[in-house]
Structures are given as structure tokens and as C-alpha cells.
Structure 1
Amino acid sequence: PSKPPISLYPRHEQTQSPLFGKLFAAELRIFIYEAVLGDLIRPMHIVPHDNGYFEGIDILYTANHFSLEGARGMLEMRSVVPTPQWHMIRHVHVSTLFLTPRPSWLRSGFPPENYNKWSDGCKALQELRGLRSIRFEFIGREDGPAEADVESLVSVLEPLKDIKAPSFEVEMNFPIPDPVQAILGDTNFTLRFQQRPCRKPHARF
């Protein structure tokens, strides 16, 4: 089904509220918006709906940390956020679960990550002009040597190289083999190995 259009006009001017009165400085309203709408500690999960716009809408994008799940999360969020607000996003975290070898990704609905959509999702994040920090968290499968499939790992990591952010971290639950690093060459992100229990392929994502 097609998504409902997002209105670019306010539903109500709210002129009856003292907050929007002439005696209340706009600078004070901005401080209030940041205190109420912004939180860099708790990630903001987006549930899209047509809800109109108001004076503090930009604060939602500049003062929050957005948590997305894989390619689907990246593409769905891009599809509902207008371009001006998309460029205002400052902080993003992306988590995903994938299988190797690469043909495993091509099966519909299993695992949660969609290999065919991964590059498209990364391209959406390449458009973020105001991005200040981004972190990817990759979980490899448990029932096979994920680190052994060089082609799959390069396919996962290569699209990240065109995403620009002053703070860019990629965390994986297994060491990246030397052949993969040699193919990638210089990268604009920091690769970190964080050992943790792998999720089984049938686990809920």
C-alpha cells in the first residue's frame, strides 16, 4: 500500500499558547524544544505517520540519536523524512544480522538483513550532509566461519566507505581477516572487534 502524504503545513498555529506569544522569546522556545525533544543518550526509534510540522521539528533531527535496523530501517526512514530534515540528522546507529557465504543472504526473509538492499541503504546514509557520528554493529552467523568468506565481508563493508562522518565506527563480532582489509584499503571508519555470543540464524532480530 502507498504511504500517506506528509503534510508540510502546520495543523494548528497554537497562537492561544503563551509559549508562542509575542512576549516569549524564540530563543527560550529553542531551549525548551532541545530539553523536551532531544536526547543523545536514548536512541529515537521512528514510527512514521502524517502528523504535520511545527516550529521545533528540526530539533527532533539535530538533537537525537537515531537507531536503525539494517537496510530496511535505513530505507524506510529515508522514505518518510523530507530532504531538508534528512540533512539535519547528526547521530545514527545501525545494527544488523547477516549470514555468510553471500548466497545465504539472497533467501527471502532469512536472515533479517537483505543483501540486495544493503548498498541502497548505505547510499541513503551517504546523503546525510550534517552527520557527526555513526556506528555500525554487525553480528555474524553462529553456524559457520563468517570470517572465512572474503567476498561477503567486502560486500558488506565496501559501501560504508562513501559515508562521511567525523566519528565513524564499525563493530563486528569476529576479527576481520587480512585479505579483506587489503581489498578495502584505506577506510574512513574505525574497525573494532567485540567478542560476543553470536545469534543463531533462526533467532529473532
Structure 2
Amino acid sequence: MATAVAGPEIERLIQLLARLPGLGPRSARRAALHLIKKREALMAPLTAALQTAMDKVQVCKTCGNLDTQNPCTVCTDVRRDPSMIVVVADVADLWALERAHAVNSRYHVLGGTLSPLDGVGPQDLTIDALISRVHDEPIKEVILALNATVDGQTTAHYITELLQDADVKVTRLAHGVPVGGELDYLDEGTLAAAIKQRTLF
């Protein structure tokens, strides 16, 4: 019978780190060991940053972004074009577009994409809130910046149908986003080109 090398506290740290995307048990062990070795330089500031994030970061009631203020800094930025909403599946996609400085608009985070196989329906996303925003705010264009996957395109078609009665132009990302590609993994130049070359959906 194998004996535990580390104490229960360290094993707990490894287990929690292993839950993070991209970290398996082996990577989590290396990360935990590094944090413990550098506890003053790394672990203490990380602990403080995690506590601050837990206490202060919240979901924007308008767009779904994550920020320490509500509505978020994107929604309250008066320099942004209020007539344009970029629809994204996840906050990571919003951040990717912001890093690329691709568009100076407002956003709407759906919280995922429609996926019947995974049991994700319209009621699980913020599609109703998006439709309300389009009808209540002076929106002229909705840019569907969704992943070029089957689920992403299904979601885009569904939203387009719901917006048929609205006096709004619905566009989608054009060249640059590969089929099957995800926004968060694309470089800034590709994202900027995709926004500039958007087409009618």
C-alpha cells in the first residue's frame, strides 16, 4: 500500500490546483511545490489576490462581464459606441477582443452556447436579456462574435431569428476565425481582422 508523501494540507492544495483548466495532477504537484518554496514571494501575494477577487469581483448586471464595479467599467465608459453590442459566449472572449482593441462598443456575455447534447438550452443563457437590451437601448448593430463551432453557429442562428422583428443589423465575424476555432486562443491581429471584416448574418 502506497503511503502519502505529503501531508493532508499539501495534498488538499494539490487537489484544488488540479481542478484548474490546463493543470493535471502532475502539473498541480509542481505548482504546489513551487508556491510552497516561494511562499513569501508568491503564495502570500496570491492568497491576498484570491481573497480580494473573492470579496470584490462581481458579475456585471448589464453585460455579464467580471469587474469590481457594477455596472462594469466597459458598460460605464462613455467613449464607447452605445449603438453596437458585441455578443460573446464567455468573459474570456470579451477579454480577448479587448486585448486586440478590435472594437469600441458594449458587450453582452451569453454565459455559453446552445448545446442540446450537453443539456444547455436558451433558458441557461442570457439570450432573453440580450433581446431586451436590443429593444430597450438605442442599438443599431449586433455583432455575433461566437466561436466557429457547431454550437456557436447554432446559437448565432437562434439569436438572429429572435432579432428578426427588431430594427437592427445583425453581423458576424468574418475572415480570420477558423472553423472549429475559439476566440480566446486566437492572436490579436486575427481578432482585429475578423471584427473589421464582419458580414451580415
Q: TM-score, normalised by structure 2?
A: 0.32
